[in-house]
A and B are shown apart, each in its own frame.
Chain A
Amino acid sequence: MLKYSIRRLLGMIPMLILISIVVFSLAKLMPGDSLSGEIDPLNTDPQYIAEMREKLGYNDPLPVQYVNWISGFVQGEFGKSTRFQIPVFDLIMEKIPNTLLLGITALIITYIMAFLMGMYSGRRPYTLGDNAIAGFNYVMLAIPSFVAAVFAIYIFAFQLNWFPFAGSVDILAEQGSFEYYLSRMHHVLLPAIVLGAMSTASYTQFLRNDIIENSRKDFVRTARAKGTPMKKIYNVHILRNSIIPLVTFLGFDFAALIGGAIITETIFTYPGIGQLFLESVTSRDYPTLMALTMLLSFLTLFGNLLADILYGVVDPRIRLD
């Protein structure tokens, strides 16, 4: 297993190099740069823009720019954000706690809802309840998250006043106090529900199908013949087997934890990685944009590896070497 992991990790290197070339080319192919489009005669002049272009190296040939960027990147030097004027690393570290909190809360909500719905559906397939759950899931999957977010704010924040409509914390709460953490949870809940409740479809349906399939297996018939209660058969014997395929998703969720909430964060003005990513695209903040894309690519690759390894762990029949 160790050998396999190392082999896979080494295999990522050429992949990441290729990704970096694609990311860099796409970023540079976008029309304009961080200095164009925002001409404001009040506080800038053409000479300043020309000077900054030279200073930022935008006038160098593209291969030179690429080598400059990637060599810094390999040494952990992500560059300085052209928009915020601080190192990209600091910027990412500043936003990541918010995003992780949102991502993990959303994931927990997804898991809980998907498990409850999946188990119910799997046990009573083709009933009204099952169909209702499937219908709910697919509607949620089909609604774009920004529409759901806008509606959620309108209904739960403005009409019912249950949740705050924006931000990650109430600034008047003293940092570190109990009230502060409560305020953070209160702020994260609505975006997390929007994110979490909208993505239950794949988990629920996978779990449902697996339960149905497993319930027709021989070991279930044996258990029933022995007189084991149905409840126990479903909740222990079948569930344990049905969780296995779900483990594969865990790897993918790994990347989604960081990059899964781009639009939602923006609408909730929740300052996290997603909002940062979107802003860096619109303002052509190349260092931030490329660092984030590389980070997300790496996490996706790493998540895949994690999924493969976990698969071997939970199902000994699958051998990795």
Chain B
Amino acid sequence: MKKKSLLWLFTLVLILSAFLAACGGDDGSSESGSEGGSSSDGEPQEGGTLVYGLDAPPEGLFSSAFYGIATDFEVIELFDEALISYNENLEPEPNVASWETEDSKVFNFTFEEGVKWHNGEELTVNDWVFALETIADPDYDGPRYANVQTIEGAEAYRSGDADSISGIEVVSDYEINITFDEARVNNLTNLWAYPLPESVLGDVPVAEMSASEWVRSTPIGIGPFKIDKIVPGESVEFSKFDEYWNGDVNLDKIVLRVIDNSSVVGALQNNDIDMISLQPVSGPEVEPLENVEIVTYPGLTYYYVGFKLGKFDNESQTITEELPKYQSKELRQAMMYALNRQEWVDAFFFGYADVVNKPVPSSHWNSADDSELIQYEYDPEKSKQMLEDAGYVDTNDDGFREDPNGDEFIVKFSHYATGNPTFESRAQQIAQYFEEVGLRSEVEMVEVNLYYDMVEKDDASIETFFGGWGTGTDPDPSGLWKADQLWNYPRYNNPEADQLLDDALDIEIVGTDQEKRKELYVEWQKIVNEDLPMLYIAELEEIKALNTRVGGVEYDVSGQNSPAEWFVTE
């Protein structure tokens, strides 16, 4: 759902590919490219310039505390680092800061000494305190407060009742204690872990920070590259930061260029850009290029077809009404068996996605193994049989099934519309699967902004709907699944499942034992796998295109490795 603003431009890509179809190759062979891992082999080389492509213009908020869209974050990742990093299982690991805790309530952090900001000042814990206080400031206009809220005293600071956040205790320049308002298992992963340079932003009022030149044109960080120059909306020049704290940096320069989607393939072919994220639709065109390698790694986004099972009242944060139409679990399961998800994914994501049966990305440590879940292989006969058994039979011989009361039954399926012409066909295809097992279906395309408004407000015209979620490094699905959450769009209401989610976060029950947490999450996944408040479709792969001259780049589910390790061979 990120980057949707430019989705309609895919139209142009498609028009181009329609005109140039003659030059295209076969669409079937999408198995080339390596899984995860690095691209170019050979020894790291010093020097050289790497050209990094972005297919959407950044907004220009180049500060970890203020950015709003993923594109800006891609830029930030090249010149800044978090205090804590994540490994390939999305578990936190020390980076600049290491930590200790006994009770998951009070954390003691120790910083590396000698870490330098790009302006030459040394990074101290005060820069982190500055970041946390900025985010908790009442004038702060970014979206990160949820990551600071849980620190003891943050609420009081925000409402103006306190001059500092009481839960933050600076021990020395390199040591700090942070106390949370209560013990939680995910306090650490939720905590905001980027510092802000107090030496440059310290005098700027919080309300003016996001518009200040320190954020927009001369941002600094602690990463291996520093920003030399920004041409707004089109390019950024980075150069090697000689005083980088964590080892050698191979490249001399990185040049970041913004290019339109319609130019991505050509630019890769001409060696104009060395690395870029690809949209699935470009994959088949890039694969035949000899100078470009495609690297895929597991993403954290999944797509689903949701059922509206109830109505939510945002004031009282409760599900107030139950909608009868899709309450039958057998009906939902039958509809799942009717979907040929593999075929659908191959057709619309060009193989860059995997069919899933659960709402937790497979690469999360708490993801349930396939053997523990119902797999819902495509089986139209089974689907038909289940519908018969559940009472959905064709009583008036019109070729479609009626509901158990003998009334007309029409699956109304809504999908968002941007300018992307494939959205309508992929929605039609899902409706087609339903029709093949005898369920009459209707597709409604709704303009994307209006669509999410309607889904969120439980508009009566939304019955089954297409959607997607991206999950973060925190594996806890509570925010999207519990009955008291606005973003539980299906309005799934199962106290037993909610209890499992609560227990998995309850330090009294799970302590610090990750295995025990995992058991509870697996238990929960079994329930939602059987209940199917939504039909899980697929999780996406992230696709990167790398020029063969690029080396040292590695990806895992937590993202890319440090740009310090990247190199180019001439």
> Interface readout for B206-249 with A: 1 if CB under 8 Å, 0 if not?
00001100001000000000000101111111000000000000
A189 at interface (Cβ–Cβ under 8 A)? no
Q: Which of A155-175 contact B (CB under 8 A)?
A: 157-158, 161, 165-169, 171-172, 175
Q: Inside 8 A of B205's CB, which chain A residues have their CB?
A: none
B149 CB to closest chain A CB, in angstroms? 9
A171 and B235 in contact (CB under 8 A), knowing A37-B452, A41-B470? yes
* Of listed A84, A147, A153, residue having the most chain B CB within 10 A: A84
CA distance A80 to B211 in the complex (A): 10
Does A271 have its Cβ within 8 Å of any Cβ on chain B? yes
Looking at B263-271, B532-540, B541-549, the stretch in contact with chain A turns out to be B263-271
Which candidate, B53-61, B168-176, B519-527, B557-565, is the interface stretch facing chain A? B53-61
Segment with Cβ contacts to A, from B1-9, B107-115, B326-334, B507-515 = B1-9
Q: Which residues of B contact A167 (CB under 8 A)?
A: 231, 234-235, 257-259
| Interface-facing stretch out of A114-122, A129-137, A212-220, A277-285 | A277-285
User: Of A47, A161, A165, which is within 8 A of B263 by CB?
Assistant: A165
With A42-B470, A269-B259, A282-B5 known as contacts, the answer to whether A37 contacts B231 (CB < 8 A) is no
- Given known contacts A37-B452, A85-B61, A86-B211, is B144 in contact with A43 (CB within 8 Å)? yes
A37 to B61, CA, bound (A): 20
* B residues in contact with A63, CB < 8 Å: none
Residues of B within 8 A of A55 (CB): 141
Q: Does A275 contact B (CB under 8 A)?
A: yes
B12 in the interface (beta carbon within 8 A): yes
Whether a CB of chain B sits under 8 angstroms from the CB of A38 is: yes
Determine which of B211, B234, B487 lies in contact with A271 in the assembled complex, contact meaning CB atoms within 8 Å. Answer: B234
Q: Which of A36, A171, A275, A279 contacts B237 (CB 8 A)?
A: A171
Residues of chain A in range 218-248 having any CB-CB distance to chain B below 8 Å? none
Alpha-carbon distance A276/B355, docked complex (angstroms): 38
Contact B487 A166 (CB under 8 A): no
A157 CA / B259 CA spacing, docked (Å): 13
Contact A279 B57 (CB under 8 A): yes
Q: Mark A14-49, 1 if CB is under 8 A from B, else 0.
A: 000000000000000011110011111111111110
A268 in the interface (beta carbon within 8 A):
yes
Are B237 and A31 in contact, with the CB atoms below 8 A? no
B1 engages A37 (CB within 8 Å): yes
Tell me the residues in window 135-162 of chain B with beta carbons closer than 8 Å to chain A beta carbons: 141, 143-146
- Docked complex: B453-474 residues within 8 A CB-CB of A: 453, 456, 469-472
In the bound complex, do residue A168 and residue B6 qualify as a contact, i.e. CB atoms below 8 Å apart? no
> Which chain A residue shows the least CB distance to B23?
A154
A residues in contact with B146, CB < 8 Å? 44-45, 47-48
In whole angstroms, what is the CA distance A316 to B49 when docked? 62
The yes or no answer to A87 lying at the interface (CB within 8 A) is yes
User: Is A166 a contact of B259 with CB atoms below 8 Å?
Assistant: yes
Band of interface residues on A: 35 or more
Residues of B within 8 A of A165 (CB): 259, 263, 266-267, 272
Q: Contact at B471–A168, with CB atoms within 8 Å?
A: no
- Assess A168 versus B234: contact at CB under 8 Å? Given A32-B453, A41-B471, A84-B59: yes
> Shortest Cβ distance from B97 into chain A, in angstroms?
20
Contact of A37 among B60, B236, B258, B449 (CB under 8 A): B449
Q: A225 → chain B, closest Cβ, in Å?
A: 56
Flag if A31 contacts B449 (CB, 8 Å).
Answer: yes
Main DSSP-derived SS at the A contact region: loop
Q: Indicate if the CB atoms of B267 and A36 lie closer than 8 Å.
A: no
Residues of B within 8 A of A85 (CB): 59, 61, 66, 141, 210-211
> Is the beta-carbon distance between A172 and B255 smaller than 8 angstroms?
yes
Chain A residues contacting B270 (CB-CB under 8 Å) are 158, 161
Q: Is A105 an interface residue (CB 8 A)?
A: no
Determine which of B8, B236, B258, B450 lies in contact with A166 in the assembled complex, contact meaning CB atoms within 8 Å: B258
In this assembly, does B480 line the interface, its C-beta being within 8 Å of a C-beta of chain A? yes
Q: Do B266 and A154 touch (CB < 8 A)? A: yes
The complex places the Cα of A37 from the Cα of B454 at a distance, in Å, of: 10
Q: Does B262 contact A (CB under 8 A)?
A: yes
**Residue A146, interface by CB 8 Å:** yes
CB distance from A118 to the nearest CB of B (A): 31
Among candidates B141, B272, B449, residue contacting A284 with C-beta atoms closer than 8 Å? B449
Which chain B residues border A94 with CB–CB below 8 Å? 232
Q: Which residue of A lies closest to B59 (CB)?
A: A84
| Cβ-defined contact, B257 with A166, below 8 A | yes
Quick one: given A36-B449, A168-B231, A271-B57, are A282 and B8 in contact (CB under 8 Å)? yes
Q: Which residues of B contact A38 (CB under 8 A)?
A: 1-2, 4-5, 69
10 contacts between A and B (CB under 8 A): A30-B449, A36-B452, A37-B448, A44-B143, A86-B60, A153-B263, A161-B270, A167-B235, A268-B260, A271-B57
A-binding residues in B (CB < 8 A): 1-2, 4-6, 8-9, 12, 15-16, 19-20, 57, 59-61, 66, 68-70, 141, 143-146, 210-211, 216, 229, 231-237, 255, 257-260, 262-263, 266-267, 269-270, 272, 314, 447-453, 456, 469-472, 479-480, 486-487
